[in-house]
Amino acid sequence: MAVDGTDENNLEQGIYTKDAARLGKNGRRRRSLSDLSSSQKCGAWASHFQRLFVSFIGADWIYLMLLGFIMAVLSFTVDIFVDLFTEAHSWIYNLADSHVVLQYLAWVTYSLFLMCFAAGFANMMSIQATGSGIPETKTSLRGVMLQEYFTFRTLVSKVISLTCVLGSELPVGKEGPFVHVGSVCAALLCRFMSLFSGIYKNKARNEEMLTVGCAVGISCCFAAPIGGALFSLEVTSMFFVARNYWRGFLSATFGAFIFRLLPVWNRQEETLTALYATKYRLDFPFDLYELPIFAAMGILCGFGGAFFVYLYGKISLFVKKQKAKNSFLMKNCFLYSALVSVLISTLTFPPGFGQFMGGRLTKKDSLISFFDNRTWSNHGIVADFDNDDHLATWKHPQANVFIILSVFIIMKFWMSALSITLPIPCGSFVPIFVIGAAFGRLVGEGLATLFPDGFNVDGHIYHIVPGAYAVIGAAALAAGVTHTISTGVIMMELTGQINYTLPILISVILANMVSQSLQPSIYDTAIRIKKLPYLPMLSWGHREKYNIYVEDFMKRDVRYITLNSTYRDIIKILRSGNLKTLPLVKSAESMLLLGSVERVQLLGLLTQRMQHLREDNASTMPVRYKVRFQVRHGEYECVYMVKPLKFCIMMWPVDEEEITSVYDSGLNLKKFFCSRPEIEAMEDDSDAEDDTILLEIEEWEEQQLVEQVTFSSCKIDPAPFQLVEHTSLHKTHTMFSVLNLDYAYVTSIGRLIGAVSLKELREAIEGCTPADGVRLRPVLSTFRDRGVRGTMTETIALHQLLEHQISR
Amino acid sequence: MAVDGTDENNLEQGIYTKDAARLGKNGRRRRSLSDLSSSQKCGAWASHFQRLFVSFIGADWIYLMLLGFIMAVLSFTVDIFVDLFTEAHSWIYNLADSHVVLQYLAWVTYSLFLMCFAAGFANMMSIQATGSGIPETKTSLRGVMLQEYFTFRTLVSKVISLTCVLGSELPVGKEGPFVHVGSVCAALLCRFMSLFSGIYKNKARNEEMLTVGCAVGISCCFAAPIGGALFSLEVTSMFFVARNYWRGFLSATFGAFIFRLLPVWNRQEETLTALYATKYRLDFPFDLYELPIFAAMGILCGFGGAFFVYLYGKISLFVKKQKAKNSFLMKNCFLYSALVSVLISTLTFPPGFGQFMGGRLTKKDSLISFFDNRTWSNHGIVADFDNDDHLATWKHPQANVFIILSVFIIMKFWMSALSITLPIPCGSFVPIFVIGAAFGRLVGEGLATLFPDGFNVDGHIYHIVPGAYAVIGAAALAAGVTHTISTGVIMMELTGQINYTLPILISVILANMVSQSLQPSIYDTAIRIKKLPYLPMLSWGHREKYNIYVEDFMKRDVRYITLNSTYRDIIKILRSGNLKTLPLVKSAESMLLLGSVERVQLLGLLTQRMQHLREDNASTMPVRYKVRFQVRHGEYECVYMVKPLKFCIMMWPVDEEEITSVYDSGLNLKKFFCSRPEIEAMEDDSDAEDDTILLEIEEWEEQQLVEQVTFSSCKIDPAPFQLVEHTSLHKTHTMFSVLNLDYAYVTSIGRLIGAVSLKELREAIEGCTPADGVRLRPVLSTFRDRGVRGTMTETIALHQLLEHQISR
């Protein structure tokens, strides 16, 4: 997964080319579609109807509801299968109760089998499916689109192997993968909708939809639309735009609605309620004296969260180092997963050590029992306690409930940190929730034992509610790990009670404060470990540390086109790099920046030029290489082309970009055409293969190529984003972040002197940070800053500027 | 309140000057403070302690908690006084029960008196205190800081008159004014904190704090931290920055905590609960069949909300027109308020028409009764129904509950729309809540009558909960009026139940969709009516409508300084305008933009120059005008100055800006010094008043002024924000919005050709919009857009560009 400098470069450039190719393709396809409709001429009514249909399909709410629906169904299906897997596990385990060894084998082998299948499937089908997916989504949303993470293949691989992993009862969660699945679904749905409506071809819009996908992912895991929408904003965005906020809410609400509706239709539940509905008393949720305890829990959870992130980072780096050293481990991706699976299932084996840590319970069962309304430590009060299978697990003849809970917390803590480093789809959110809830329950039970009579307020007796402590602990620990506030909101929606708003928010904010001052969030840590091309926030400290200007880190060797460029120049430039847009300057001497031209536009210019040549000079052209194609749908069309194939003139809708890339890679065009499935038969005129003719062609081409380009039909962006050479790193960073730029040109009094892309900016920032990698900055640290706009008034002494002017 | 073109201009320029003055003042004060500490030389420990103290005070959480605390105390105090006023009203009303006319007089006069006092106090103390304040806050946050709205005077005026208005039981709310009060508190607290820590002098940061103030305002009204934070973001921001989100949450949580803690300390309540805590059943909140009804309610509330905004707009415009025509009405601000007060209190008079519309109940009582758990329409079920004073109001011997509720809704609807147009502090949120709740209760009671047996689900009988309908109706109608989703969250926090998340969100989203397609939000309507300098969103439709470039609307007559500028030029420029920053170009011929210089820096240059002259040429200077001051604190200092006062050299810490403004306004400097309270005695050297000497000075000054400025000690921003002349209106708008710019320079190949400020941009946008004022665009309409970045790739045909190049 490691992406070093050069790879990154290729990666980015590859993406650029792909984007351009897609753009070209879509542009062409739309044209051919409209051609079709106009050729049919079914009258004004049909076209009116078509327009209506397109605008209907183009309406966002259709898209958002579809996305919500798909995700809800996916989430529900995964849940059903996970339940089936768990039941099957339980059934096999109970079947083998004749002997403890047999039972152990059944217990371990089942998990092992599912784990190996999941790891193998994910690694073979699509390696991008492993891990949480939130770091990759975050990176993609920041500008560097990791295209391979958003394919149908990844989706299938992720969903299926996630189901198996969850079924194997490893302490990993569903939320991280579902954020990824949500954004993949959003991306795929955009691609699908673009068949009907043009507005889904907009790249920026589609990136915004990824945020919506994240919100729906969370919302469909926890049935928490508000929390989901907020969580997605907190985790994925640096700057929120109002439009995402609305879209996220709409889609997340519909998703959560369908997700909770499905169990009702499936006769599992009576009506729409919270996922882990609690029934704590409404009249007196907590006493004032409990508030300091909640605050202390928040602080402890902050430390715990930071330690969890630290542990995860250490384990990840250790595993990575071992893999790099040991080629055997690297080749056998199963082995590591299998080892961990056996270790964990051995430890949780219920008749063994598992009896001291609630080994039999799944994550869901544990959460339900932790959030339970009843108090465990004074068993006598509740009569039906022993009938409850879940609660009975926490009652052990040799050990009291405090010991069991403590063992559970300690064991699950390292198990979770270990599990999420495996090469499988896995999230850290739910296991953290469970550990936090256990911690809260421990504190709550302790208090209930200390104060068995509860509080006497104005004659009313109110007992302590340990379940509420579990709720608060879960929210605080999750906040400490993810560095978000919305975990509190998710918790309220998950339990269906908002009585504890203030304690939850207080402990969540305190946990955030503590953990952010100690460690980056788990997602930022993952980004750092995986070396994803993410633009980091500038690390804190004095601004003077970043005392460099854009001229110090910009790329000086910029490819450009001038008003005097010939067609040859353009071909040369198009072949030499894969930049999406090219700057247009007045002349190579003056370098005055006039605007920028998209690559696609230039390709269009070339095609136009050749169409023009073909029409005008059909007779003067020395020879033509003629190919006839039999296209599958019965149509019969011709491609004429000059060879060696610098230009190609076609009537067949293959886009120009595709042809150019064939040349670039040195392939034979004939071969390329033969490989296309649409072409069934092909005959070509072989007399053009002669050497002398080739020379002749070469000469003719040379003549045609030296002509100056006429840009008159080409669309030019007259105001590409420009920076002055003295713009500081801080200001550049802010502009790139806020405007979500990919690149900017650097000018000095109108003359183009360089360009900055995300890559250069990232390197410049990393160059300013400590050697141990990018120092990611906690969000709360912005409390100590002077505001965004403060970074925009950097000043230098004028004499520097004057010297600069004189030396020029 | 109407601000036309020229006034706006002055307003803005006034603000610029004030800002600069403040900056200068602060800068000076800090310097003198540090001088003090260094002169004391109390050793390293003291300075270390001071640093610690400053960094402690500078920490944001101190500020945020203080803000929360102050707002909570304010809100609680206002509530207490409002309760007192209401009780007194009730007491007087009951006292006068001997005769109905007496009672009527008591009822009406009390309200009338409070209203007149409120209107008079607000108008005399600070006219800015009237109205909701949200539109003004929104405008200030967008960039045009309306300084006079954020003074201590406004705060006092607003809080006191708001208390009286609420006490008079007019159907207006507390939330809008409290958003304003919150942001005023935030601004004042920033000013206070800047005495201790320098970071509170940053303007951008202080503007961000205004958003926090809004969040705290809402949070302390409703004890709804999450809803408050979200509402403030939705209402005030176009683009959210992550840092505000955190700050808002922290401050709002602490504010809500204190706000709910105070009643506990005051022995009013037992513990921290929701403000309008409800106790609906947790196990089966609603049936699936009820969902379509909730959705229909959302749609109806959308229409209702849009109609309310329409009604408000019509009444406001009518009143405005009448005021403009009728000078009598304009002069007597009481009259209109008094008339409305008498009208409304006559209609609500309990023994009169008020008996058919729950006239006796305050807004709070009405809300409590609407949210009640019990069903009104089948009275027999609940035994203690008649003992409840609030509920009994809705029972009338002649009219059933449906008629009373309908009358209540219709009457309150127009009364609220009318009341919020009065020149008093008033919000629309709570009255809308009440009307929405009444509508919901009406629907709920209707259903309960239709289905008296409730639902039978799996053998359990579940009755309809009309209170829940009231909750949903309130949220949906508020959403329809304010165009926000967070009203749903506020509602959940207000009632302390989250069971109805999905119905609330569904109806809120539907209400938003309907009302946004019909009318702008109530805040945008108010901005339009008050003609506030708000940068509107571009209205929807085809982008081609805005086919103008920045060169078409920029200000071409830009004042600038060159590298060859003399001191005289600078003084001239400083006097001629009040721009905060001035562009620095290479020469008047080349106009190459080198950077920008702040006004304060230039003033500093002038002072420096004079200090330099004083030290070097003390003997050659022809004459000095000498003044001796006796300063109050016993210090004795001198001001030497050359007269006529083009320069002033002082040892006394009056800042330069202040002196300059004295000259600009034509005041006598001597008079000015005499008017300062610090100066107790003053003697001056009168022989300088001679005409010949004055001429001599004039000559000497002329010599000094023609010298070229050396910018070496002056700080220059080398990269001010620049736009190319072909930047489109859309792109300019996006950049101004996202980067929150005040102004930008327009360059053509490096040459400064103009400048754009918010004012020009606003005019350009308004010029493109229909004649009936700015067409504000609903937020949900962004669903139909192509994304922000889509607006950044406008293109023009090249031949235009070429022609442009040739013509030059």
- DSSP, residue by residue, A431-447: HHHHHHHHHHHHHHHHH
Residue of A nearest to B734 (CA): A739
Number of H helices, E strands in chain B: 30, 15
Q: Which residues contact B602 (CB under 8 A, 6 or more apart)?
A: B561, B570, B573, B574, B582, B714
CB B242 within 8 A of CB A240: yes
Of B246, B586, B788, the CB nearest to A241: B788
User: Would you state the pLDDT for residue B354?
Assistant: 81
DSSP secondary structure string for all residues of A690-733: -HHHHHHHHHHHHHHHTSBPPGGGSEEES---EEETT-BHHHHH
Interhelix angle B363-370/B466-482, nearest 10 degrees: 130
CB B683 within 8 A of CB B636: no
User: Would you state the pLDDT for residue A242?
Assistant: 61
Q: Which residues contact B321 (CB under 8 A, 6 or more apart)?
A: none
User: Would you state the pLDDT for residue A671?
Assistant: 58
**For B651-706, how does the pLDDT look when each residue is reduced to its tens digit (9 = 90+)?**
333 444 554 554 444 445 555 555 555 454 555 544 444 556 556 666 666 676 77
Task: Tell me chain A's radius of gyration from C-alpha atoms.
Answer: 31
Query: What is the distance in angstroms between the Cα of B755 and the nearest Cα belonging to chain A?
Result: 16
CB B387 within 8 A of CB B278: no
- Best A62, A208, A209, A226 member to test B by mutation, with max B CBs in 10 Å, is A226
DSSP secondary structure string for all residues of B67-84: HHHHHHHHHHHHHHHHHH
Q: What is the mean pLDDT of residues A367-396?
A: 69
Which amino acid does the sequence have at A241? Answer: V
A691 pLDDT band (50/70/90 cuts)? low
The CA distances from residue A272 to A253, A269, A710, B123, B285, in Å, are: 13, 8, 65, 52, 8
Which residue, A411, A414, A417, A408, is CA-closest to A439?
A408
pLDDT tops 80 at residue A443: yes
- Best B795, B796, B808 member to test A by mutation, with max A CBs in 10 Å, is B795
- Is the peptide bond preceding residue B503 cis, with omega within 30 degrees of 0? no
CB A575 within 8 A of CB A680: no
User: Would you state the pLDDT for residue B701?
Assistant: 64
What's the CA gap between B109 and A493, in Å, rounded? 48
Q: Which residues of B touch A799 (CB under 8 A)?
A: 711-712
Supply B765's token pair: 């946008």
**For A604-620, how does the pLDDT look when each residue is reduced to its tens digit (9 = 90+)?**
777 777 666 656 655 55
CA–centroid distance for B464 within its chain: 42
Q: Cβ–Cβ contacts within 10 Å for residue B339, how many?
A: 13
Which residue, B474, B470, B548, B475, is CA-closest to B508?
B475
Q: Is the overall model pTM greater than 0.80, yes or no? A: no
**For B524-535, how does the pLDDT look when each residue is reduced to its tens digit (9 = 90+)?**
888 888 877 776
- Indicate yes or no: CB of B274 within 8 angstroms of CB of A498: yes
Of A60, A241, A501, the CB nearest to B493: A501
Range in A350-354, A646-650, A718-722, B512-516 the model is least confident about: A646-650
Between B169 and A243, the more confident residue is: B169
Residue of A nearest to B489 (CA): A226
- Indicate yes or no: CB of A797 within 8 angstroms of CB of B716: yes
CA–centroid distance for B720 within its chain: 28
CB A731 within 8 A of CB A788: no
Q: Please give the DSSP secondary-structure letter assigned to residue A539.
A: P
User: Would you state the pLDDT for residue B39?
Assistant: 44
- Indicate yes or no: CB of A801 within 8 angstroms of CB of B727: no
Number of H helices, E strands in chain A: 30, 15
Range in A249-258, A294-303, B769-778 the model is least confident about: B769-778
Interhelix angle A401-419/A333-348, nearest 10 degrees: 180
Vertex B456 angle, CA B450 and B461, to 5°: 90
pLDDT tops 50 at residue B246: yes
**For A138-170, how does the pLDDT look when each residue is reduced to its tens digit (9 = 90+)?**
888 776 777 788 889 999 999 999 999 999 888
User: Would you state the pLDDT for residue B504?
Assistant: 92
pLDDT tops 50 at residue B792: no
Name the 3-class secondary structure at B758: helix
Q: What is the mean pLDDT of residues A715-719?
A: 75
User: Would you state the pLDDT for residue B547?
Assistant: 66
What's the CA gap between B305 and B290, in Å, rounded? 22
At A561, which helix (H) or strand (E)?
strand A561-562
Most confident listed range (A17-26, A119-128, A388-397, B63-72): B63-72
Q: Which residues of A touch B749 (CB under 8 A)?
A: 592-593, 749-751
Between B523 and B246, the more confident residue is: B523
Name the 3-class secondary structure at A74: helix
What's the CA gap between B276 and B491, in Å, rounded? 9
User: Would you state the pLDDT for residue A306?
Assistant: 94
- Indicate yes or no: CB of A595 within 8 angstroms of CB of B751: no
User: Would you state the pLDDT for residue B295?
Assistant: 93
Query: What is the distance in angstroms between the Cα of A174 and the nearest Cα belonging to chain B?
Result: 22
Query: What is the distance in angstroms between the Cα of A62 and the nearest Cα belonging to chain B?
Result: 11
Ramachandran quadrant class, B131 (left: phi over 0; alpha: psi -120 to 50; beta: rest): left
- Indicate yes or no: CB of A457 within 8 angstroms of CB of B264: no
What's the CA gap between A469 and A481, in Å, rounded? 18
Between A215 and A350, the more confident residue is: A215
CA–centroid distance for A593 within its chain: 36
Vertex A141 angle, CA A138 and A147, to 5°: 95
- Is the peptide bond preceding residue A644 cis, with omega within 30 degrees of 0? yes
Supply A563's token pair: 């008003």
CA–centroid distance for A474 within its chain: 25
Name the 3-class secondary structure at B338: helix
- Indicate yes or no: CB of B498 within 8 angstroms of CB of A274: yes
CB B197 within 8 A of CB B135: no
Ramachandran quadrant class, A483 (left: phi over 0; alpha: psi -120 to 50; beta: rest): left
Ramachandran quadrant class, B584 (left: phi over 0; alpha: psi -120 to 50; beta: rest): beta
Q: Which residues of A touch B734 (CB under 8 A)?
A: 739
The residue written with tokens 């119905």 in the block is B503
DSSP secondary structure string for all residues of B84-114: HHHHHHHHHHHHTTT-HHHHHHHHHHHHHHH
A303 pLDDT band (50/70/90 cuts)? very high
Of B238, B712, B794, the CB nearest to A797: B712
CB B347 within 8 A of CB B354: yes
What's the CA gap between B497 and B487, in Å, rounded? 14
Residue of B nearest to A731 (CA): B719
Supply A367's token pair: 């959460």
Which residue, B514, B440, B521, B510, is CA-closest to B474?
B440
Residues recorded for chain B: 808
Q: Which residues of A touch B286 (CB under 8 A)?
A: 271-272
CB B551 within 8 A of CB B754: yes
β-bridge pairing B715-716 and B722-724: unpaired
Supply B576's token pair: 């001629």
Q: Report chain B's mean pLDDT, rounded to a whole number.
A: 74
What's the CA gap between B26 and B32, in Å, rounded? 10
Between B457 and B647, the more confident residue is: B457
User: Would you state the pLDDT for residue B314?
Assistant: 92
CB B223 within 8 A of CB B39: no
Query: What is the distance in angstroms between the Cα of B195 and the nearest Cα belonging to chain A?
Result: 16
A733 pLDDT band (50/70/90 cuts)? confident
Residue of A nearest to B736 (CA): A739
pLDDT tops 60 at residue A738: yes
The CA distances from residue B584 to B561, B596, B712, in Å, are: 5, 5, 13
Beta-ladder partners of A748: A751
Between A348 and B645, the more confident residue is: A348
What's the CA gap between A585 and A565, in Å, rounded? 10
CB A182 within 8 A of CB A213: yes
Name the 3-class secondary structure at A797: strand
What's the CA gap between A59 and B21, in Å, rounded? 51
Of B59, B225, B801, the CB nearest to A594: B801
